[in-house]
Chains A and B, each alone.
Chain A
Amino acid sequence: MKGEISVAACVAALALSASTRAAASDPVVIGIIDDFTGVYADVQGQGGVEAVKMAVADSGGSVLGRKVTVLSADHQNKPDIGASKFREWADQGGLNMLIGGSNTGVNIAMAKVALAKKVPFIPIGPGGSSLTGADCTPYSIHYAYDTTALANGTASVIVKSGGKSWFFITADYAFGTQLQDSATKVINANGGKVLGAVRVPLGTTDFSSFLLQAQASGAQVLGLANAGTDFSNSLKSANEFGITKTMKPAALLAFLSDIHSLTLQTAQGLYLTTAWYWDLNEETRAFAKRFFAIMKKEPTSTQAAYYSATLQYLKAVKAAGTTDADQVMAQLRKTRISDMFTKDGYIRADGLMVHSMYVMQVKTPAESKYPWDYYRVIKVMSGEDAYGSQPDPSCPFVKR
């Protein structure tokens, strides 16, 4: 009993010191909790940290006369690790804002911490649309993309071009199932139908068995509702087994890093939806050039979003004149977001950052003229077309 009391006293003391902490000399702390070592480490990982540091430097390295510092930690794709690290930084690290990296499951757990600790939380890596639905909080901004936008982009383009019947290979966790659900809605709405689906454990290396099931279904489209190496391995095997000759593969989530590692030979012709591409215009190329100098690779869409989110957060702190979570969130909600990541962004009542999205097609090796010349723009979707203009009614914080 005695031990418990002293632990409780310590925790109380720490909490007190954290709340009295925001003195003028204390730094503004931005945290990043992401997959730095696992299957998603190439999507943002260290490149994400560098992008945030670039944004801090571009903001002058300080705000309100306080130095800006950046913390990062590896969640190892485990929700408990992500949530406890977030809690630790919020309690003891003087954390002012957290960027959530890959993995929807981990980010759902971290959203609960954001709500309890009242810390602005910007999930960028995860796709699960429940982050602005059932798992939304008044402190969350889902920034770069979500499963709804991916489905509205890729799935609708493919259904409209004749791919009416689908079979899904789905990663068996929150992200995969939400992506499949979103895509199914779009397919049904456009007059297509889903003939079947298999739920495959995360990190499976051999997809051949699932691909034969897909082929046996007789569907026209092979919907890959997975990501990272799961996506690469499933597409590679689909090529090997000749399934891509009879079925059209649809990459529901593919990042530039995936296309790079698969090579154009394997990935050519794929449709995919992305928020940003390094080779869109002068501004994106200028950012990519600076990024390339550090990381020796072109930035992914979410790495660019890390930069943008940090920039916008620091601007909001400056405009609000405080790091107080509620005031900064209010400031962000009334700001029109315009930088090299997007020109027309705004934050919907449920916390979703609505902005235009691009449907891309992967170039053939012959069409690619220089290194990293991978995508051709097929369609630009307005933010409303991609995400819908109404907030998600399942978000409990949306006032009706």
Chain B
Amino acid sequence: MTVFGMPLPVILGQLTLGLVNGSFYALLSLGLAVIFGLLGIVNFAHGAFYMLGAFAAYIGLQYFGVNYWFALVLSPLAVALLGMLIERLFLRHLYSLDPLYGLLLTFGVGLIAEGIMRDRFGASGKSYPVPHLLQGAFDLGFMVLPIYRAWVVVASLAVCAITWFLIERTRLGATLRAATENARLVQAFGINVPLMVMGTYGAGVAIAALAGVLAAPVVQVSPLMGSSLVIVVFAVVVVGGMGSIAGAIVSGLLLGVAEGLTKVVYPEASNIVVFVIMALVLIWRPAGLFGKE
């Protein structure tokens, strides 16, 4: 049986891989959407935080014997602390200015982080082993899926669902959203808005670092691993609608699958297909798929 001139198993295999990549995109764009949607910061350091998350896991394992499962919790925490420090020291002063200033600042922070890691660990990066529990593969019939990749999909979707629920369906989320609408009013109710903003930035950064830890066993942990991804992730967020949590998740998965199919049909275009889709979506719906006009 063939679909679009390709055997069905090939299509199914590529759809599955697209879903794996899509869940990385979803997780990364989720963090970006949280930070933009709630704080209005265009966080260009997101790729760097993703990279730092992976390196934190590597350093933990190499020098302190911290295994993968602890790294899943500890390295996002460590990177989030760094993120909150940056928010407190620098970003805080830019809220009243044009978003462009925040973009430039975070872009610079990202470059500095990359430079430091390149100096310390070299450009070709480091290898992180797949944890023992997740080694091996499922035979799906149409393809062999490494257990680790399946775990990435499950873990990412779980984090996406929890984050969406926290922001859209809980009192904490309601307060957060209220604070972005009218910070002064929320502060008048006795809520410490600056602290909440710092925590939110930290949470967005932590999600990026978590994605980094999840990626560490499957890609080379290298200083440039984030910068090649961050532009794609921005396109994902734009397609989903800037700041829309659900939009980021859904468009992350969809674009991952679209990219996967392009890799079969016309591999040379696989690194631009996301941007072509972005352009088309912007023509049709300037606010993105889930954005509010």
Contacts and interface: CB of A to CB of B under 8 A. Distances in A.
To the question of whether A and B form a pair in one complex, the answer is yes
B144 interface: yes
Interface stretch (B29-37, B119-127, B242-250): B119-127
Contacts of B228: 203, 205
Interface stretch (B69-77, B160-168, B219-227, B282-290): B219-227
B135 to A, nearest CB: 9
Contact of A209 (B218, B220, B229, B264): B264
A242 B137 contact: yes
B224 to A, nearest CB: 6
B125 A261 contact: yes
Contacts of A45: 123
A172 interface: yes
Given A205-B225, A205-B229, A209-B17, A233 B123 contact: no
Interface string A21-63: 0000000000000000111111101000000000000000000
A350 interface: no
Please indicate which of the listed interface residues B123, B129, B225, B229 has the most CB atoms of chain A within 10 Å of its own CB: B123
Contacts of A377: none
A213 B271 CA distance: 17
A372 interface: no
A232 B122 contact: no
The interface size bin for chain A is 35 or more
B123 A37 contact: yes
Interface in B61-117: 115
B260 A261 contact: no
A216 interface: yes
Contacts of A43: 124
B268 A209 contact: no
Contact of A232 (B13, B220, B267): B220
Please indicate which of the listed interface residues A208, A261, A265 has the most CB atoms of chain B within 10 Å of its own CB: A208
Contact of A229 (B18, B144, B222): B222
A206 B129 CA distance: 17
Given A201-B270, A205-B219, A242 B144 contact: yes
Contacts of A153: none
B148 interface: yes
Contacts, number: 109
A208 B267 CA distance: 12
B229 to A, nearest CB: 7
B263 A38 contact: no
A40 B271 CA distance: 20
B268 A232 contact: no
Interface string A216-244: 10000000000011001100110011100
Interface in A245-260: 257-258, 260
A260 B122 CA distance: 11
Contacts of A134: none
B21 interface: yes
A193 B22 CA distance: 36
Nearest to B267: A198
Given A237-B218, A241-B146, A209 B123 contact: no
Interface in A262-298: 262-263, 265-266
A210 interface: yes
Given A212-B14, A229-B220, A38 B123 contact: yes
Nearest to B126: A261
A311 to B, nearest CB: 26
B118 interface: yes
A236 B127 contact: yes
Please indicate which of the listed interface residues A37, A198, A236, A261 has the most CB atoms of chain B within 10 Å of its own CB: A261
A43 B124 CA distance: 9
Nearest to B217: A240
A201 B271 contact: yes
A237 B137 CA distance: 13
Given A38-B123, A201-B268, A240 B263 contact: no
A19 interface: no
B208 interface: no
A200 interface: yes
Contacts of A212: 10, 13-14, 17, 143
B20 interface: yes
A84 interface: no
A228 B144 contact: no
B96 to A, nearest CB: 34
B130 interface: yes
A240 B125 CA distance: 18
B288 to A, nearest CB: 24
B125 A229 contact: yes
A338 interface: no
A200 B264 CA distance: 11
B6 to A, nearest CB: 10
Interface string B16-58: 0110110000000000000000000000000000000000000
A365 to B, nearest CB: 13
B124 A42 contact: yes
Nearest to B256: A206
Given A206-B21, A229-B220, A242-B144, A266 B123 contact: no
Contacts of B268: 172, 199, 201
Interface in B236-269: 260, 263-264, 267-268
Contact of B218 (A37, A172, A236, A265): A236
A39 B124 CA distance: 6
A204 B218 CA distance: 13
A242 to B, nearest CB: 6
Contacts of A208: 17, 20, 149
B78 to A, nearest CB: 23
A323 B271 CA distance: 46
Given A212-B13, A242-B137, 10 more contacts: A40-B123, A43-B124, A45-B123, A199-B267, A200-B267, A201-B268, A201-B271, A212-B17, A261-B127, A265-B129
12 contacts: A42-B124, A198-B267, A203-B224, A205-B219, A206-B219, A208-B17, A210-B263, A212-B10, A228-B123, A240-B130, A258-B124, A261-B122
Interface of A: 37-43, 45, 172, 198-201, 203-206, 208-210, 212-213, 216, 228-229, 232-233, 236-237, 240-242, 257-258, 260-263, 265-266
Question: Would you list the 10 A-B pairs with minimal beta carbon distance, nearest first?
Answer: A41-B123, A209-B263, A201-B271, A261-B124, A42-B124, A232-B220, A198-B267, A42-B122, A42-B123, A263-B127
